Amino acid sequence: MTHAPPPPPPPLPPTKAVKSSDTIISLPKPRPMPPQAYNGPLVDNVRYMAANTSALDRPFQPCYMFFYGSLMDPEVIQAVLSLADLPTTRSATISGFQIKMWGIYPALVPSTSGAVTGVVWKVDSEKHFERLAAYETSAYDWLECEAMLGDGTVLPRCRTFCWAGRPDSNELEEGHFDLQRYQRYFKPSVTRRRSPAP
């Protein structure tokens, strides 16, 4: 099954300088979108279920989301969704994936032996899921996965956002996402412009 390339993401603001007490960091402009959606042999990886239309065609049901980037921070989830209360997340791991970096952004890609640690949070409304998808932009697509909690409990049919382009794209680099660095330098740009619902 082939997929059309994802549409380009919405325009983002130009580069801004973020100042801390000891450092000035220039926020990079986002890189251009990948030229085409991935359609290679790793689509056969059973965990890479975005290619499975049965998952995409089902009506929305409340589900757990697995987050591995900025959305691991409950205050970012709260700001993106305009939640009145701070959400409670739980640590979890998924197998069959690895993280690569798209500039400052982490990208989840299939891997035969990889595992990724992050958090899960239950999404109860389709509106919230759509807001999360908009926050991630069309550079990412969603798929289903199984997440394992620290106590060994397995959560089936979790959703997560993965890289919409080729896993071997030149746009991606080896690396890891540093949540503390994100919280220090980049998180305020999300939480300042969004305020929780009253």
Would you say residue 18 lies in a domain? no
- What does the angle CA 44 – CA 47 – CA 53 come to, to the nearest 5 degrees? 70
The per-residue pLDDT for range 111-149, each reduced to its tens digit, is 988 999 999 999 999 999 999 999 999 999 999 999 999
**Average pLDDT score over residue span 72-76:** 97
Sign of CA dihedral 162, 167, 170, 172: positive
Give a yes or no: residue 15 inside a domain.
Answer: no
In a domain, 94, yes or no: yes
Is 25 inside a domain boundary? Answer: no
CATH number at residue 171: 3.10.490.10
Q: Is the pTM of this model over 0.75?
A: no
Which structural domain range is residue 154 located in?
A: 36-181
The answer to whether residue 190 sits within a structural domain is: no
In a domain, 189, yes or no: no
| Residues 163, 180 contacting (CB under 8 angstroms) | no
Number of structural domains, the chain? Answer: 1
Q: Is residue 186 part of a domain?
A: no
On the question of pLDDT at 82 being above 50, the answer is yes
| CA dist., res. 119 & res. 69, Å (int) | 9
CA 9, CA 176: separation in Å to the nearest integer?
23
Q: Is residue 103 part of a domain?
A: yes
Specify whether the CB–CB gap between 111 and 48 falls below 8 A: no
